[in-house]
Amino acid sequence: MLRLLIIVIVSLLYACAAKASHDESTKQLTEADTGRSIELHIGDELEVTLPANPTTGFQWEVSAVDTSILRSIGKPKFEPSNDAVGSGGQVTFRFKAVEIGQTGLKLIYHRSFEKNVLPAQTFEVTVTVR
């Protein structure tokens, strides 16, 4: 019985050590990374920061992603480049890797009120979660 207890304790310690060996991290991407493939681990976060100017009516929007693999965290956050009214800046999307698999992540920059118009820009990456 003591031997079984020792085996169980050692197994649990090993499992905890294996889990601790991979610290959750945040990968950051910009528009220069479009077309790339990236690898994440479950629990990792992904930040995508893109140039934007919402005063023009254009906005970035997630167009495609498998949310069972990569889940959005909160709403996109816009940071203006300066205090001038109407100035552009950067918008940041945050995602969390929640399941093993592969998904494309596509964001489009468009005016949502303009129908049947191609996006002004697209951002696409392939994300593999291990």
- Domains belonging to the chain, first-starting first, are 24-129 (2.60.40.2020)
Mean pLDDT within 55-60: 96
- Confidence at residue 22, expressed as pLDDT on a 0 to 100 scale: 53
pLDDT in tens, 69-107: 999 999 999 999 999 998 999 999 999 999 999 999 999
Q: 3 to each of 6, 7, 8, 11, 71, how far by Cα in Å?
A: 5, 6, 9, 12, 43
The whole-angstrom separation of Cα 111 and Cα 39 is 31
Selected residue with higher pLDDT from 18 and 115: 115
The separation between the first and the last C-alpha atoms of the chain, rounded to the nearest angstrom, is 37
Q: What is the pTM of this model?
A: 0.80
